[in-house]
């Protein structure tokens, strides 16, 4: 059974071809103004800060969607308080067979939803005078123009995704154990997601197992195993990920999600690839979060949401996959209605990960009030919430929840992760110039066909003024081998500041 809430607003569409077209950039002579634009190096999200963009809460499910209660736990067959329903979408996600408020998840056949994004790969990079060619990497060749003193370079962006995997004790001790199933879905040498997509995504890896510590910044809070992001990084990740194990005599490992996100985001901010890249964390967890200082009850939602919001503000988006206990036993260790648990919490994290408003717990209409029940939990110091909340915030972020007791759970996890990753691969090109004037005066062609600026199957400048993105069928055609030419009038572009 899979519950999913997919936010689909990225540049590009998913295609199967790994073949790249030729890229030809042209520019007429003209004057050049200084660029005073301060562009975010973020993702294709609406806010262009690294988060994924909002599509106002659309949901998809290959196994069929079902009615749901608020934030809904799912029930195969629909045995939830509030009755069964078919054909609708619950606020917290979709499921096969119907959702009920307070229902328990059993079985089900829905898969994790569809994402958008073109199977890209890395692109050739370089520059040269008109008619010259330079290339580097595995993508299409780049023929760069000379625009008087401006030498325009164009390179296909490759996203960076760190797999942040919860390795708390519950990931190992459940039946069936979640951890080996998850590892196989991601890392199987023949069918795993990382092996299949390592040529088009700069994968990194981080695991976290928590311990009680003196503060939220105490390095003793969690043991983290990490691998720096890179293309073709399967072997390096497997050497670390595959070595992680648990013994029943080991002490209990906790789930300080806020600490793990903060540490991973800090490492991503320090990551500086040759070509600018959109950066994401793909969080995989099976439990409601605790904090470094308070391990029980699991009331670390506020700090985990704050960590996701801070990451987004620094240009790093968050995707969320819930597995195991947080799906089948969503209130375990948590205290509703004082805090939002299970699928509700996954939705809140997904919203924070795309820069969208986050819903406070029920009855907490004023999150700043000392009477807010959420603030009375032991994880909240001085009764002061750290994250930002908006009452009645809509569910717009993306998350996928997989019930790992399902017989097809391994396949469902692999499909869900691949779908999420496909939403962040794109036909977005980084340029060493910024467009300063009327964008629509540029001419972009695939072969002999001129594309329409701003069309869903055309092209646009964005998310920053030094990025050009192909949309829809234009992206698919480029990836299938169509030659792309870009002609931006020189009086509408200026060099980026060095």
Q: What pLDDT score was predicted for residue 3?
A: 52
How many percent of the chain have pLDDT more than 70? 69
Predicted pLDDT at 8: 28
Query: Sign of torsion, CA 247 251 252 255?
Result: negative
- Beta strand extents in 290-375 (DSSP E only): 316-323
93 DSSP β-pair partners: 90
Estimate to the nearest angstrom the gap between the alpha carbon of 14 and the chain centroid.
15
How would residue 314 be classed by pLDDT, with cut points 50, 70 and 90? very high
Q: In this structure, how many other beta carbons lie within 10 angstroms of the beta carbon of residue 457?
A: 15
Contact 158, 124 (CB under 8 A): no
What CA–CA distance (Å, rounded) separates 372 from 355? 23
The pairing of beta strand 146-147 with beta strand 150-151: antiparallel
- Give the model confidence (pLDDT) of 404-459 as tens digits: 999 999 999 999 999 888 878 768 888 888 888 888 888 888 888 999 998 889 99
Token pair 């391994």 is at which residue? 410
For the segment 310-332, the average pLDDT, to the nearest whole number, is 94
* Higher pLDDT among residues 106 and 285, named by residue: 285
Contact 163, 203 (CB under 8 A): yes
pLDDT at residue 149, as a whole number: 56
Tell which wins on pLDDT, 65 or 292: 292
Separation of first and last alpha carbons in the chain: 51
Query: For the segment 326-377, what is each residue's pLDDT rounded down to a tens digit?
Result: 999 999 999 888 999 999 999 999 999 999 999 999 888 899 888 899 999 9
Average pLDDT of the residues of the chain: 75
Mapping DSSP to helix (H, G, I), strand (E, B) and coil, where does residue 476 land?
helix
Nearest to 464 by CA among 102, 170, 15, 47: 47
Residue tagged 């029943």 (tokens): 248
Q: Which helix (H) or strand (E) holds 241?
A: helix 234-241
Query: What are 34-53's pLDDT values in tens digits?
Result: 334 444 333 333 333 333 33
This prediction has a pTM of 0.67
pLDDT tens profile 373-400: 999 999 999 899 999 999 999 999 879 9
Domains in the chain: boundaries: 160-422
Burial of 34 (0-12, 13-18, 19+ CB in 10 A): exposed
Per residue in 130-159, pLDDT (tens digit) is: 222 222 223 333 333 445 557 778 888 889
- Residue range 195-230, pLDDT digits in tens: 999 999 999 999 999 999 999 999 999 999 999 999
Strand-strand pairing, 146-147 and 99-100:
unpaired
CB burial readout 247-257, b (16+ within 10 A) else e: eeeeeebbbbb
Alpha-carbon distances of 316 from 277, 279, 302, 389, rounded to whole Å = 10, 5, 19, 19
Instruction: Tell me which of 3.40.50.410, 3.40.50.300, 3.30.420.40, 3.40.50.2300 is the CATH number of domain 160-422.
Output: 3.40.50.410
Among the listed residues 194, 145, 177, 347, the one whose alpha carbon sits nearest the alpha carbon of residue 248 = 177
Residues 6+ apart with CB under 8 A from 154: 23, 25, 142, 144, 429, 430, 431, 468, 486
Provide the pLDDT for residue 495.
82
State the residue for tokens 């973020």: 42
Pair type for strands 154-156 and 428-431: antiparallel
- Token pair for 444: 């972009």
């Amino acid at each position: 059974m899979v519950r999913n809430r997919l936010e689909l607003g990225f540049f590009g569409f998913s295609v199967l071809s790994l073949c790249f077209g030729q890229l030809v950039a042209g520019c007429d002579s003209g004057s050049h103004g200084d660029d005073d634009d301060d562009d975010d190096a973020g993702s294709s999200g609406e806010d262009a800060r690294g988060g994924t963009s909002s599509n106002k809460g659309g949901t998809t499910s290959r196994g069929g969607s079902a009615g749901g209660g608020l934030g809904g736990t799912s029930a195969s067959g629909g045995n939830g308080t509030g009755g069964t329903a078919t054909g609708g979408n619950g606020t917290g996600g979709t499921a096969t067979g119907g959702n009920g408020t307070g229902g328990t998840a059993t079985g089900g056949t829905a898969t994790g939803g569809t994402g958008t994004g073109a199977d890209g790969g890395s692109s050739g990079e370089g520059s040269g005078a008109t008619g010259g060619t330079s290339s580097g990497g595995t993508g299409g060749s780049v023929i760069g123009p000379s625009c008087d003193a401006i030498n325009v370079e164009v390179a296909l962006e490759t996203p960076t995704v760190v797999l942040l995997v919860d390795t708390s004790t519950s990931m190992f001790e459940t039946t069936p154990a979640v951890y080996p199933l998850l590892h196989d879905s991601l890392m199987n040498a023949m069918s795993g997601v990382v092996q299949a997509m390592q040529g088009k995504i700069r994968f990194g890896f981080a695991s976290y197992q928590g311990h009680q510590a003196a503060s939220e910044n105490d390095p003793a809070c969690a043991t983290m195993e990490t691998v720096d992001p890179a293309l073709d990084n399967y072997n390096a990740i497997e050497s670390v990920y595959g070595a992680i194990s648990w013994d029943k005599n080991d002490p209990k490992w906790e789930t300080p999600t806020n600490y793990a996100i903060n540490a991973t985001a800090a490492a991503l901010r320090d990551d500086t690839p040759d070509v600018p890249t959109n950066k994401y964390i793909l969080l995989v967890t099976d439990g409601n979060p605790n904090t470094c200082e308070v391990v029980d009850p699991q009331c670390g939602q506020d700090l985990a949401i704050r960590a996701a919001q801070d990451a987004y503000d620094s240009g790093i988006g968050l995707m969320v996959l819930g597995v195991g206990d947080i799906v089948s036993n969503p209130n375990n260790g948590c205290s509703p209605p004082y805090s939002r648990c299970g699928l509700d919490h996954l939705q809140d994290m997904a919203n924070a990960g795309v820069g969208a408003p986050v819903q406070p717990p029920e009855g907490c209409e004023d999150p700043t009030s000392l009477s807010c029940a959420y603030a009375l939990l032991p994880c909240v110091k001085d009764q002061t919430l750290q994250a930002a909340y908006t009452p009645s915030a809509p569910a717009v972020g993306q998350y996928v929840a997989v019930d790992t007791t399902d017989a097809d759970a391994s396949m469902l996890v692999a499909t869900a992760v691949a779908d999420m990753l496909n939403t962040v691969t794109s036909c977005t090109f980084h340029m060493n110039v910024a467009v300063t004037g009327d964008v629509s005066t540029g001419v972009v062609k695939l072969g002999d066909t001129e594309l329409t600026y701003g069309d869903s199957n055309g092209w646009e400048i964005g998310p920053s003024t030094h990025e050009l993105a192909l949309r829809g069928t234009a992206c698919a055609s480029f990836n299938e081998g169509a030659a792309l030419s870009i002609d931006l009038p020189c009086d509408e572009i200026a060099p980026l500041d060095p």
